[in-house]
Structure 1
């Protein structure tokens, strides 16, 4: 159990019931126990008029994603499941 340490005296709060106590600085404990009222969800809608973004947009890839054929061939080959007929058939077709 995380328990606060008194900021002036340094005395640790002792929980009842014999629970193991882990001392934590009082300010940090208060932040964890009573988080400020701020949302961690993204804002909906756009930016207000006249406000510009200060971070660049993420770059888009030049082509669409294509998995590596070599990785597709070699990954099942290293597993015991490749001996199963259905997976062996796929593995042999790709080769």
Structure 2
């Protein structure tokens, strides 16, 4: 009989340690951001906090969409729309 804990792939929740590893930060930083209400709500199960994986993924998408330094949000990198029709004649300079 295998009584080991389920892995993250099977669980719809992340622990503080798993979230810290995912974001490459410390557990204390996760607790700090939660205290400042900068994270999605967590489920408190006794002494353990569980973050819903779907809420974390939505939070990451929203964060990436609002980041001005994200290359995907750079308006200069957007495709250029070409004009249709003949090019305009340049005005003669005197």
| TM-score, length-scaled by structure 2 | 0.23
| TM-score, length-scaled by structure 1 | 0.23
Greater helix content: 2
The structure having more radius of gyration, on CA atoms, is: 1
